[in-house]
Amino acid sequence: MRKIKTICLLLLSSAIMFCGTPGRTADLSPSEQKQYDKASRYWEKGNEYFKEGKYAKARDMYNKTLKIYDKHIDALLNLAVVCEKEGKYQEAEATYKKIIEFNSDIPDAHHNLGAIYESQGKIDAALLEYKEAIAADPYFARSYNNMGLIFLNQDMVDQAIENFRKATRYAPHEAYGYVNLGTAYASKGEYDSAIAQYNHAIELQPNSAFIYNNRGDAYLNKKMLDFAVLSFEKAIEIDKKNYVAYRGLGDAYYLKGDTEKAIENYKKSLEINKDYKNAYLNLGMAYKNTDKKKAGECFEEYRKREDNKKNLEILDKVINEMKITN
């Protein structure tokens, strides 16, 4: 059975920091310190609103903070966070640039500005800001992680692995670095290493269906089918609507020779997400030798949703083989 593989990434490029305590006042004069302290009262109130999800009120408090003391870095950072929450990315970008203008050694500002650039497709500019974040703080794990994601998307796998390793080193209690390191190893066909990283991530984040899906795919590629079944079943236990896990479970049963269970799980996947193209493809493959009409219908549904020319050429070969043996 041909399985279209996609690299699953834990996307943290939009990760942002919410500051909870005031700081950076060591160089203030007594009069500036007085202004800062007065401004921080509004900032603290803004934080309360932020935690309650009342972003408009939080924005109002942060703006009041900045009217009193316009270089209040923590208020600027949190204002930018609010802008991102509200989808006002241009305003967030301008705010991060203002922070950097005041103090270029704030890693969060560089990192979050880089994330905005990355979302805009400005990859070189994003990489530059991630590097600036690391220059300001050599242990800034999130920027290593995001650079790793960029390199992985560019098929620069060794560079990705190097950055993900640093992310795990400097944030050893966060799962994202291990997940992405596992994905990088899987892209090289090093499935044992990938599984080891996913296992570590699961220890840190045991209720993540996403990680179990990734580990299940690694087991599939190693033909460790019983382990794959267990991983996908655990993903479904965590998330009953996990259509990716049902697809994976279908793949495992297909490779075990249980076509009936494979079809059952592909159908469950499509009941949850009728546009999941990989489930159509694999369901078509499951039907290929028993019901060519249904197989053809599934392949056509896949074709409607697939825009990768190479994948469509492979599909045409499969369909032509079906016609020859019909």
In the prediction, which pLDDT does 20 show? Answer: 45
From CA 163, how far away is CA 321, in angstroms rounded? 44
pLDDT at 15: 38
Residue found by looking up tokens 């494979």 in the block: 262
Pick out the chain residues at pLDDT < 70: 1-26, 324-326
CA 102 – CA 242 distance, rounded (Å): 46
Q: Can you give the pLDDT at residue 4?
A: 28
Phi and psi torsions of 30, nearest 5° = -55, -40
Q: Which fold has domain 1-137?
A: 1.25.40
Answer for the pair 252, 264: CB distance below 8 angstroms, yes or no. no
The predicted pLDDT at position 322 comes to 83
Separation CA 18–CA 91 (nearest Å): 17
Instruction: Give 66's contacts (C-beta < 8 A, 6+ positions apart).
Output: 39, 72, 75, 76, 79
Q: Which of 305, 304, 283, 303 is nearest to 294 (CA)?
A: 283
Cα atoms in the Cβ-side hemisphere of radius 13 Å centred on 251: 32
Q: Where are the domains of the chain?
A: 1-137
At 289 the pLDDT is 87
* CB neighbours of residue 58 within 10 Å: 24
Q: Which two tokens stand for residue 277?
A: 């193209």
Q: What's the predicted TM-score (pTM) here? A: 0.87
pLDDT of 10: 34
The predicted structure's pLDDT at residue 321 = 85
Q: Exposed, middle or buried: residue 193 (CB in 10 Å: 0-12, 13-18, 19+)? A: middle
Alpha-carbon distance of 15 to 244, in angstroms, equals 24
Rounded Cα distance between 73 and 104, Å, is: 11
Q: Which of 164, 159, 165, 219 is nearest to 10 (CA)?
A: 164
